């Protein structure tokens, strides 16, 4: 049984984020892999050790402040589970939250969970638009597409990015990097949502969850023609050749 934890679905759901959960769940079901999703809301207890996959979406500033105050109480358990191979996908505001701090426009430092030592600072203008990123998971690079809408600029320091920006802005619009990767943690600004049409990434996450159960085998292939077409339309529009 793959156990999924959807963190704060009531508060962090700004850009169709629940689509990521829907996609993860459906692609397990279509392969007859048992999967269970638990929603954890503000003030509720969460035992990260019993989950395989944790999803953290993005919210507006007010909602994110509430979430941050709550999640910080579980910070150590979450960090320990990550060291043990917990699979995490954090998007936009959730991604920023994994870092050390957020430097606001008036110079205020808002602490993050500090699970990873990158930081984010408020930018002058919002970075909004379609994005394509080249992601290399196991020496087999492929293109991931999505939409970004953020004003925070993230700087990774020595952390490993999720991928290289092919079109759009990514972490900060300057260094050509997008997202972050650490063990089984994936942070990114890409919504769209990310998982439904970027099926290779989704299947990679499912594979990592299975590995946690000691199962290491190729996933049953699915017919991804709609998903591939949806990606190709955007890649063509961004002037990038086929996948």
Partner 1 sequence: MNLRLSLAILAGKLAAMASRTYGNKGSSLPGMVARRIYPGTLQDLAAQVGRGILVVSGTNGKTTTTNMIATVLREAGYKLSSNMEGANLITGVTTSFIRDAGIRGKISCDYAVLEVDEASLPRVLKEVKPGVLILTNFSRDQLDRYEELDRITGIIREALVQQKQMTLILNADDPLVAQFQRSTSFPTVFYGMDPNEQTPRTSFQTREGKLCPFCGNILTYEFFHNSQPGRYHCPGCGFSRPDPQVEAFDPVIEGGRARCRLVFNGQEAELAVPVQGLYNLYNAMAAFTTGLQLGLDAQGMLDSLNRYRPVAGRMEVLNYKGKPVYLNLVKNPAGFNEGLATLQADRGSKDVFIALNDNVADGRDVSWLWDVDFEMLGKDHRLYNRFICSGLRGEEMAVRLKYAGIPVEKVTIDDNITQAIKNTLSGGAGAAYLFSSYTALWTVQKAIKSITVEGGAAR
Per-residue contact string for residues 69-108; x = within reach of partner 1 by CB under 8 A: ----------------------------------------
Let me know: does 189 contact 150? Beta carbons within 8 Å: yes
> For partner 1, which is the closer residue by CB, 170 or 192?
192
Let me know: does 148 contact 129? Beta carbons within 8 Å: yes
Let me know: does 45 contact 78? Beta carbons within 8 Å: no
CA atoms within 13 A on the CB side of 3: 13
Q: How far is the CB of 15 from partner 1 (least distance, A)?
A: 5
Per-residue contact string for residues 108-147; x = within reach of partner 1 by CB under 8 A: ------------------x-xxx----------------x
Rounded distance between C-alpha atoms, residue 231 and residue 243, angstroms: 8
Rounded distance between C-alpha atoms, residue 84 and residue 208, angstroms: 12
204 counts as catalytic: no
Q: How far is the CB of 157 from partner 1 (least distance, A)?
A: 29
Q: How far is the CB of 232 from partner 1 (least distance, A)?
A: 8
Per-residue contact string for residues 166-205; x = within reach of partner 1 by CB under 8 A: -------------------------xxx--xx--------
Where in 2-61 is the site for partner 1 (CB under 8 A)?
A: 9-11, 13-19, 22-23, 26, 42, 60-61
For residue 196, which of 40, 37, 25 has the smallest C-alpha distance? 25
For residue 193, which of 16, 10, 66, 31 has the smallest C-alpha distance? 16
92 counts as catalytic: yes
Cβ density class 231-243: b for 16+ within 10 Å, e for less: bbebbeebebeee
Catalytic annotation, pick one of 5, 92, 209, 231 = 92
Query: How much of the chain is in helix, strand and coil states, percent to nearest 5?
Result: 30, 30, 40
Q: How far is the CB of 147 from partner 1 (least distance, A)?
A: 5
Instruction: Return the residue of 149, 155, 176, 210 that touches partner 1, per CB under 8 A.
Output: 149
Beta strands (DSSP E) in 2-140 are 2-7, 35-40, 53-56, 87-91, 101-103, 109-111, 119-136
Q: Given the rule CB under 8 A, which residues bind partner 1?
A: 9-11, 13-19, 22-23, 26, 42, 60-63, 66, 126, 128-130, 147, 149, 191-193, 196-197, 223, 226-227, 229-230, 232-233
What amino acid positions are annotated as catalytic residues?
A: 92, 191
């Amino acid at each position: 049984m793959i156990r999924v934890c959807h963190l704060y679905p009531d508060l962090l759901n700004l850009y169709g984020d629940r689509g990521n959960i829907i996609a993860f769940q459906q692609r397990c079901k279509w392969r007859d892999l048992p999967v269970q999703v638990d929603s954890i809301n503000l003030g509720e207890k969460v035992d990260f050790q019993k989950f395989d996959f944790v999803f953290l979406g993005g919210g507006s500033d007010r909602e994110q402040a509430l979430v941050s105050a709550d999640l910080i109480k579980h910070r150590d358990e979450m960090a320990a589970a990550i060291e043990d191979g917990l699979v995490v996908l954090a998007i936009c505001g959730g991604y920023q939250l994994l870092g050390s701090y957020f430097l606001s426009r008036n110079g205020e430092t808002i602490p993050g969970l500090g699970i990873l030592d990158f930081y984010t600072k408020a930018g002058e203008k919002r970075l909004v638009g379609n994005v394509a990123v080249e992601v290399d998971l196991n020496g087999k690079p492929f293109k991931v597409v999505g939409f970004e809408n953020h004003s925070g600029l993230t700087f990774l320091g020595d952390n490993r990015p999720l991928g290289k920006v092919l079109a759009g802005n990514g972490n900060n619009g300057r260094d050509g990097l997008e997202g972050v990767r650490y063990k089984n943690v994936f942070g990114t600004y890409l919504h769209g949502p990310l998982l439904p049409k970027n099926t290779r990434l989704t299947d990679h996450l499912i594979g990592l969850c299975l590995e946690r159960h000691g199962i290491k085998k190729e996933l049953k292939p699915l017919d991804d023609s709609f998903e591939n077409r949806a990606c190709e339309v955007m890649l063509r529009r961004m002037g990038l050749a086929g996948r």
